[in-house]
Every structure is written in structure tokens, then in C-alpha cells.
A and B are shown apart, each in its own frame.
Chain A
Amino acid sequence: MGKSLLDKVWAAHAVRELPSGQTQLFVGLHLVHEVTSPQAFQMLREQGLTVAYPDRTIATVDHIVPTHTAVRPFEDEEAEAMMSAIERNCREFGIRLFDPSSGHQGIVHVIGPELGLTQPGMTIACGDSHTSTHGAFGSVAFGVGTSQVRDVLATQCLAVQKPKLRRIAVEGALPPGVYAKDVILHIIRTLGVKGGVGYAYEYGGAVVERMSMDERMTVCNMSIEGGARCGYVNPDATTYAYLRGREFAPPDEAFERAVAWWSSMASDADAPYDDVVRLDGSSLAPVVTWGINPGQAIAIAEAIPRPEAYGADERETAEDAYRYMGWQPGTPIAGTRIDVAFIGSCTNGRLSDLREAARVAKLGRVKPHVKALVVPGSQAVARAAEAEGLDDIFRAAGFEWRLPGCSMCLAMNPDKLRGRQICASSSNRNFKGRQGSPSGRTLLMSPAMVAAAAIEGAVTDIRQMLAGSAR
């Protein structure tokens, strides 16, 4: 019987089995941001600990940074205090910080891959649940809490339980207008928001194998929304081509040796799985969420389901979602008027996402009642997009072109919904209040669908729009 990538990475990083039955796991790359780390550094100080492997931790700032100005000090004193704290902590403990002056700042899950820090076969941890994004490279990457951030800083290790493994094979080929975001929203809708609890997800099949690294990151990013703490794709030629030449990737003379090791870490053909799920990518349509968790999603042509359509388990949440969203049962999701359009986040804030959105932005102008934001995932994404003139396309169509950060994905900076505004968003969470207003409403969808909604002023089927433009 062969081994899975999870088995191999786990074995390579296992320091020892702990008496509790957990594994002491070495962490190859630790990423840090300003929201979940200051308390961890404080714990180090209080407990008289140092950072064990300072060069295996990289820090950046993303959650609280304003996207309309880079001027310091920030107007928001709390944000400024958090910014100063991470600067001081990184200085004091000898950790490299990619702040806005570095030219490498951005959302932590965008900069790790684009700098070549994220590599196959690694274990990666970060005090952030979307650390699963890095699994796109064939790493075992998961989010941890602040006390565990302290553990990684102090020991470069975590005490963790090895998860079970579910392979999700998406076969066929995606129709035009259907994106990686639709694939993962469909997976979550199918398996449920708690379907992955206790599991790692291995994504494969023809659709995933054909995906670019950006697309694989979109899929792995939302593993946690399906309950799976980590999700990965086996590394292949696409992975290696992406990494070659990146700043922190192995240099040319070592690259072939690296590829040999990376390839050896991929799952064997006869690897064991605790569960296998097969889905047909050819039958997918654009997906939009209608409720208050990412599993409450429907295809664009469907009507918002009645709560009775859900099983006993999910009915209560569905009823709660109905009350919060204020829908009439049975209304189609297409045509829902929106107030705000948000393109960005670690799910869909990369260059290819902005390209797809810009392609749609060229087809019209943002409706006057819509506030539309484009927030690149990193400074590098912003530079590349500007070099292609995407910023001009967006501005000309009435979108605001912002500085990189998390922005309205969780609204810890000034970018927030107001009141009960409805936002078409390329981010990953539609939880109550997620986008900054306690009564704000979020509809998750692909960046192209967000751009289309901005232009129509309402949720719309991107396929029709693209077909119309081709005629």
C-alpha cells in the first residue's frame, strides 16, 4: 500500500509521538500577521522564552492596514498600535517583516506563495484559518490559535493530531464562466460546512490538475469553510514552473534536486484514503451564496431554497439565515440588487482574479448606486496589474483601485459595509456581520461574477454577459 502526501509530510516532520497520542510536528514555515501575534509575543516575554528558529518565521501586515492611504501614523489609533506592535516584536525577536515599505507586503496567504516561501512537502502554520491556501503547493498547511503561535515561535513545533484524509476528485472540464471559486463553493455546498471536520482534503481529478496555481490556491483557501483544517493538491509540473525563479525558491543549481524531493512527496497511486468523493466539473454553473455560511450556496439559475428544503440538521440555520438576509422564500438569486462589490481577499485577490474581473469590467460601467472596490492581494499583485493596465480598466469602469490588504473581507480597516447593505464579494465568509456592519449581508461568488454584479447593479449570470459580449 502506498502513502499519501499527508502521510509522507507528516512522517518527515514528526519529531516524536507525545504521551497524549498527538504528534510533535516540526513547522517548516511560520507566517505571522498583526492581529493574532501580539499576544503570542507577549506570552514569550512573560514566560522568558525566545524564538527558536527566527529565520523560519516571516511576518507581514494585512488585516488592519487601510487601503486608501499608506500614510503613517494611521488615523485609527488602534490600528497604529497594532502596526507598531508587530514592528517592535519583529525587531526584538529578529523576525523578518514585510511591511509596506518593503515592496513585498500583502495578505499573508498571497505573499508566501508569490515570494516562493511556500513550497511542496513543507509543513506551514499561521495564526489564520486560511493558511490552508498554501496547500495548493502540496504542503500541509493549517491555521492555529495564538497560544500555538507562541508554541511555534518558542519551539518551531506544534502538538497536533494527524487528520483523516478525504480525496475529492473533480473530473471533467469546467464550462466557460465557471471558476475555481465555483468549484470550492460547490464542494462546500455538497459536503457541508462541517463535512470536513477531522479531515484534510486532497483535491485532484482532471479539473484540479488543469488549474493554475492561483486557481488551486482559491480551492485550498476555502477548505476551512468546509470544516477541513487543511487541504492540498499534489505538486506537479505546474507547481514547479510557478516556483522557479521566485525570490525564496531554491536557486537554479539546487532546483532539480528540489523538484526530485517535491515529486517524491506526492501521493502514490495506491495511497490510502479514509474517504473518496467524486464530482463532475462539467456540470457546474456559477455559484452564489444566499445565507450566512458558505455552505448555503446555490447555482446562479436556482431560486433561494425554502428552509424546509434542508435536513433537520440545517433547517434551523437556514431559518436564521432567512431572517437575517430578509429574502422571500423561493425568489431567484439572480437579479438581487447589490449595494457594494468587493474584489479581493486571499481567496480571489491574485493577478489572474483581477484579470478575469477586468475582462468583465471592460463590458460596461459600475451602476451609480454601487460602491465597487478592487483590492489587490499584495503589492506585487498591484504592480503586475498596473503594468498590464488593469487599474486603468477598473477606474474607467467606475471601480476604486485600492492599496493591498484584507480590506472588506473582514473589515478591520475603514472598508466596511453600512447598515443592511448587500455586498457581492469575492472573499470567503458570509457570516453575520463579517464585512463590518452587524447587519450587513454578503453574497460570495467568483471575482468575475462580482464584476458582473457591479455593472448590472444586481446579481447576474456571468455566462450570459460573456456570451452577449462575444456576439
Chain B
Amino acid sequence: MSDLIPIRRVSGRPIPLRGNDIDTDRIIPARYMKAVTFDGLGAYAFYDVRFDARGQSTGHVMDDPRYQAKGPRVAIVNKNFGCGSSREHAPQALLRWGIKAFVGESFADIFFGNCLTLGMPCVTAEEATVAALMTAVEDDPAHDLVVDVETLTATYRGRTYAVRLPDAARRQLLDGTWDATRVLLAARDAVRATAERLPYVRSFRP
């Protein structure tokens, strides 16, 4: 098992992914999930939005020359991002494309949890803040957007915006327990005791 890796701050070139209710079918179409590993998923992130029926680029922001930076990326999104299917393929595809954190108005529950177990913070901000951030980035995308989990801020070109993150998620990122397996394994005896108290585990024997 991996060591505990605290995530205090994520910094990377920003990419605005505009739109409310962007579902995970759009983030990764089901036909690209026909594989037994997550490898290579990055190439298919938002595939049907980025490419037309003939495989030609539609000029989507992910393929826009202004947004072709190397290294980690931070996505800016609107409301209810990642709704729909529980497929971890969605955050995995975005992670493999380079996105390491999100700033958005709101996130779907399962998507938020999936990102957390991958160490990708999804911080939220007011509608006006997200709008201002998107505009600032679209004016000039060539700077790093810094998401600070410790101070709950996002900083772009010297301007700092307040962001939110539920306390539990923040603590998991900061103390490195976002990958929960190790934490859960530590309570083996308590798990057994809980199981034995459940009447259905005892097959309803008295």
C-alpha cells in the first residue's frame, strides 16, 4: 500500500469546462469503458464533444491551442459537474488527461467522492466567483491556478478567491487519508464485532 500523501495545494494551468449538469457519459462515453484497466482513458475524455462523427476536432477547449500546456491542470466547471453514472472512469480519464483538481459551482455526490479517493480536490465557489475566474482565465490562460486546500482559496494572476470544501474531505486531503483503504483496514477487529452484531450476518439465528 502506498504511503500517506498529504495534498495541501494543487497548482496547474487552468482549463474552463463550461456548462451545467455535465454528466459522466459525456466525460467518458461508455464505449471507451470496454477495457479491464484505466490506462489510456485520457485520450477519450469528452470524446464525443471534442470530435465529430468523422473524428475531426470540433475545436473544443481541450483542443484549443491556447490551452495546450504540459504538466498538471486545474479545471473550472459550473453546476452539478459529474452527474449520472458512478463510473470512476470519468475522473480517471480527466486525471490521465492531466486534471488534478477542480474549482466549480457544485459537484455530483459520487463524482466528488470518486475524485477524493484519487486525491483530486473538488472545491466549490459562488457562481460569481466561478464566472470571474473563468473570464480571467479566458482572457489569459497562461498562468497557474493554485487551489489551496489548507487556506481554502483559489489564486489566479495575483487575485485570491474564497473556495469551500466539506471539512471531512479537507481533512482527508490534508492528512493524506484520502485513499481510504489503509484507514479502513486498521479497524479489522471493530469490523468483525460490527458484523457479528448484525442479525442478518448471523442468518437471523438467535
Q: Which residues of A line the B interface, CB within 8 A?
A: 12-16, 18-22, 24, 26, 28, 35-36, 38-39, 42, 47-49, 52-53, 64, 76, 78-79, 81-82, 85, 119, 121-122, 127-129, 131, 143-148, 150-151, 154-161, 163, 193-194, 197-198, 224-225, 227, 229, 250, 254-255, 257-258, 261, 293, 313-314, 316-317, 320, 410-412, 429, 431-434, 436, 438-439
**CA separation between A193 and B106, bound complex, in Å?**
12
Question: Which residues of chain B have C-beta atoms less than 8 A from A16's C-beta?
Answer: 187, 190
Most buried by B among A154, A159, A432, A433: A159
Which residues of chain B in 53-97 are interfacial with respect to chain A, using CB atoms and an 8 Å cutoff? 53, 79-80, 83-89, 91-92
How close is A196's CB to chain B, nearest CB, in angstroms? 9
- Nearest 5 pairs of A and B residues by beta carbon: A145-B88, A145-B114, A143-B86, A38-B36, A254-B204
Whether the pair A431, B197 counts as a contact (CB closer than 8 A) is: no
Q: What residues of B have a CB within 8 angstroms of the CB of A129 in the complex?
A: 84-86, 110
* Residue B198 is within 8 A (CB to CB) of chain A in the complex: yes
B161 at the interface (CB under 8 A from A): no
User: With a CB–CB cut-off of 8 A, which chain B residues contact A410?
Assistant: 25, 30, 85
A114 to B92, CA, bound (A): 33
Nearest residue (CB) in B for A258 is B204
Interface contact B26-A261, CB-CB below 8 Å: no
Could you tell me if A78 and B86 are in contact, using CB atoms closer than 8 angstroms?
no
Chain A residues, Cβ within 8 Å of B198: 12-13, 26, 28
Task: Assess the A39–B53 pair: CB atoms within 8 A.
Answer: no
Tell me if B206 and A257 are in contact (CB < 8 A).
yes
User: In the complex where A19-B175, A28-B198, A159-B184 touch, is A193 in contact with B203 (Cβ < 8 A)?
Assistant: no
Given A121-B200, A157-B191, A411-B31: A148 and B117 interface contact (C-beta under 8 Å): yes
Taking CB atoms, residues of chain B closer than 8 Å to A161 are 166, 168
Cα(A121)–Cα(B113), bound, Å: 24
Question: Are A154 and B181 in contact, with the CB atoms below 8 A?
Answer: yes
Instruction: Sort chain B's interface into a size bin.
Output: 35 or more
Give complex CA distance A14, B190 in Å. 10
The verdict on A317 contacting B19 (CB below 8 Å), with A159-B183, A197-B108 known, is yes
Q: Closest CB of chain B to A14's CB: distance in Å?
A: 7
A-B contact pairs, 20 of them (CB 8 A): A20-B169, A26-B198, A39-B36, A39-B38, A53-B195, A78-B34, A82-B34, A129-B86, A143-B110, A144-B110, A145-B110, A145-B113, A147-B114, A155-B184, A159-B180, A159-B184, A193-B80, A198-B109, A227-B108, A257-B199
Chain B residues in 8 Å Cβ range of A314: 20
Out of A81, A151, A198, which one reaches B184, CB within 8 Å? Answer: A151
Q: Is B159 an interface residue (CB 8 A)?
A: no
- Taking the closest CB of chain A, its distance from the CB of B196, in whole angstroms, is 10
Distance A193 CA – B21 CA, assembled complex (angstroms) = 8
Q: A150 → chain B, closest Cβ, in Å?
A: 7
The answer to whether B179 and A21 have CB atoms under 8 Å apart is no
Chain A residues whose CB sits within 8 angstroms of the CB of B88 once the complex forms: 36, 39, 127, 145-147
Whether B25 pairs with A431 at a CB distance below 8 angstroms is: yes
* Closest Cβ–Cβ distance, residue B181 to chain A (whole Å): 5
Contact B187 A15 (CB under 8 A): yes
Shortest distance between the CB of A462 and any CB in chain B (Å): 27
**B168 CB, min distance to chain A CBs, angstroms:** 4
Whether A20 contacts B48 in the complex (CB less than 8 A), given A39-B38, A82-B36, A148-B113, comes out as no
Bound form: Cα–Cα A439–B26 in Å: 12
The residues of B that contact A157 with a CB separation of less than 8 Å are 184, 187, 191
In the complex, A171→B181 CA distance in Å?
A: 44
With A39-B37, A159-B180 already in contact, the answer to whether A144 and B109 are too (CB < 8 A) is no
- Whether A250 contacts B203 by the Cβ 8 Å rule is yes
Is B128 at the interface (CB under 8 A from chain A)?
no
> Contacts A47-B1, A47-B181, A438-B53: A144 and B84 contacting too (C-beta < 8 A)?
no
The closest CB in chain A to the CB of B184 belongs to A155
Contact partner of A147 among B30, B118, B187, CB < 8 A?
A: B118
Contact A433 B34 (CB under 8 A): no
Binary A-proximity of B164-206 (CB < 8 A = 1, otherwise 0): 0011110110010101110111011011001101111101111
Q: Which partner residue on chain B sits nearest A64 by CB separation? A: B34
What's the Cα separation between A129 and B109 when bound, in Å?
A: 11
Closest to A409 in B: B30
Cα(A48)–Cα(B182), bound, Å: 12
CA distance A413 to B30 in the complex (A): 10
Distance, CA A458 to CA B21, complexed state (A): 28
Interchain CB contact under 8 A, A15 and B194: yes
Hey, which chain B residues are within 8 Å of A85, CB to CB?
A: 36
B29 within 8 Å of A (CB atoms):
yes
Please state if A154 and B118 are interface contacts (CB–CB under 8 Å). no
Smallest CB–CB gap between A115 and chain B, Å?
14
Determine the distance from Cα of A250 to Cα of B1 in the docked complex, in whole angstroms. Answer: 38
- Return B48 CB to nearest CB of chain A, in Å: 4
